[in-house]
Amino acid sequence: MIAANLPPGGARAVSRCDALGAAPYSDMEGGLFRGYLTPAYAASQVALAAWMEAAGMTVRRDAAANLIGRYDGRLADAPALVIGSHLDSVRDAGFYDGPLGVMLGIEAVAALHEQGRRMPFPIEVYAFGDEEGSRFPAAMLTTRAVAGTLDAAALDVADAEGITLAQALPGSAEYLDARREPAATLAYLEAHIEQGPVLEADGLAVGTVTGIAAQLRYAVTVKGMAGHAGTTAMRLRRDPLAGAAAMILAVEQLARGDNSDVVATVGTIEALPGAANVIPGEVRFTIDVRSGSETRRNGMAEAILARLREIAEARALDLGTVLVHDLAASPCAPALMDLMDEALVAAGQPVRRLVSGAGHDAMVMASLCPTAMLFIRCTGGVSHNPAEHVEPADVEIALQVMLGFIDRLGDSFAA
């Protein structure tokens, strides 16, 4: 079996992620792409199931094709601690975004099993299938199914090849049966690479996540007057691309000037008609605003939109803004953050709390149960990229912190 020659621990978790980075566990040549319900996804589940069973778990797939390993607790009817992350990936991905959290869940159970220990509650390790949304035009389908927040209409989707979800998953009519009962779920724990540079900048291996940032996304349209690039005098132009450039700089300046956790990003821009010798008549771009505080996020978004209106008016341009989505902040449970901090100290690590600017399965699971997250340092903060890297020593520290967290959760449960 791949990675079987390594002893249990953080290094084995990393090695197993590496092993799943190539055929038959990837759907692309020369890189990693693991789409939901693809042959690579199925092959990866086979490998994961074997590792879960070796760690002492019973294994099943739910109606949404999530792979679940269960390690029974001492109390048969106790609610379960769910440990999870996702198995799918973006195209040309790194090896650790998602799978590392699953591998660490398996390693945590393996450590308990090797010691012959059972917690008062069962532990269920979930390998979620669709966090990225990189196959079907929807994200977190499988997590939303488990949390009970998925509308059946969201399942009426097809991939780029025209294959529907129903065709890809026989039995999808029972998809919503993947829902967990709140009374059967004690808490949710997710370990994940930070996907940012904070821990590395602070010289830290791990940190306690306080929550997932609130997010607003806008589609912006700026309209002016198209014209010939050679015959339209500069003073007579109503150039929406020049106006959009001023707006994009304003987005950056306002967010930088706030000197807080607020981030604002223009991720796409399109000029129409898109010819080198034509002054554009219309420009479209997106704005993404995030903060751990919805109040700060909303205040920044209002300031940005006000400045965009000023620029448009000064340049005689027409401005349109559409709110594409509004994601509320997803705070981690304060009591669980305290347990995580205690586990950090017990593992010889300083306490460091930080917010997640990226979305994770935990933000959906928060509607089902209290959540906790542990971030792991990644080199350069690079993610969604083949250069994504973690040090096995950092992952070993993360494993020890997770085991300490589980112990403390067990103590508080018994109390």
> Known binder of ligand: residue 228?
no
Category of 98 on φ-ψ map: left (φ > 0), alpha (ψ -120 to 50) or beta = left
- Given a cut of 80, whether residue 1 has pLDDT beyond it is no
**Which residues belong to CATH 3.30.70.360 in the chain?**
214-327
> Known binder of ligand: residue 86?
yes
pLDDT tens column, 161-215: 999 999 999 999 999 999 999 999 999 999 999 999 999 999 999 999 999 998 9
pLDDT given for residue 2 in this prediction: 57
User: Residues 344, 208: contact at Cβ < 8 Å?
Assistant: yes
pLDDT tens column, 269-324: 999 999 999 999 999 999 999 998 899 999 999 999 999 999 999 999 999 999 98
- Given a cut of 80, whether residue 415 has pLDDT beyond it is no
Rounded Cα distance, 338 and 248, in Å? 40
The single-letter DSSP state of residue 256 is H
Rounded to two decimals, what is the model's pTM? 0.85
Arithmetic mean of pLDDT, 38-46: 98
Sequence letter at residue 108? A
pLDDT tens column, 142-152: 999 999 999 99
> Known binder of ligand: residue 360?
no
User: Residues 186, 369: contact at Cβ < 8 Å?
Assistant: yes
pLDDT tens column, 89-106: 999 999 999 999 999 999
Arithmetic mean of pLDDT, 336-360: 96
> Known binder of ligand: residue 290?
yes
The single-letter DSSP state of residue 181 is P
pLDDT tens column, 219-271: 999 999 999 999 999 999 999 999 999 999 999 999 999 999 999 999 999 99
> Known binder of ligand: residue 97?
yes
Provide the token pair at 137.
């035009």
> Known binder of ligand: residue 161?
no
> Known binder of ligand: residue 217?
yes
| 214-327 CATH pick, 3.30.70.100, 3.40.50.720, 3.30.70.360, 3.40.190.10 | 3.30.70.360
CATH class for domain 10-212+329-414?
alpha beta
Exposure of 322 by Cβ count < 10 A (0-12 exposed, 13-18 middle, 19+ buried)? exposed
Helical spans, DSSP H, in 264-333:
294-314
> Known binder of ligand: residue 132?
yes
Average pLDDT score over the chain: 95
Q: What DSSP letter does each residue of 111-166 carry, written as one string?
A: HHHHTT---SS-EEEEEES-SS--SSS-S-HHHHHHHT---GGGG--B-TTS-BHH
Q: Where are the beta strands (DSSP E) in 166-253?
A: 185-193, 206-212, 214-223, 227-228
User: With bands split at pLDDT 50, 70 and 90, how would you rate the model's confidence at 138?
Assistant: confident
**Which residues belong to CATH 3.40.630.10 in the chain?**
10-212+329-414
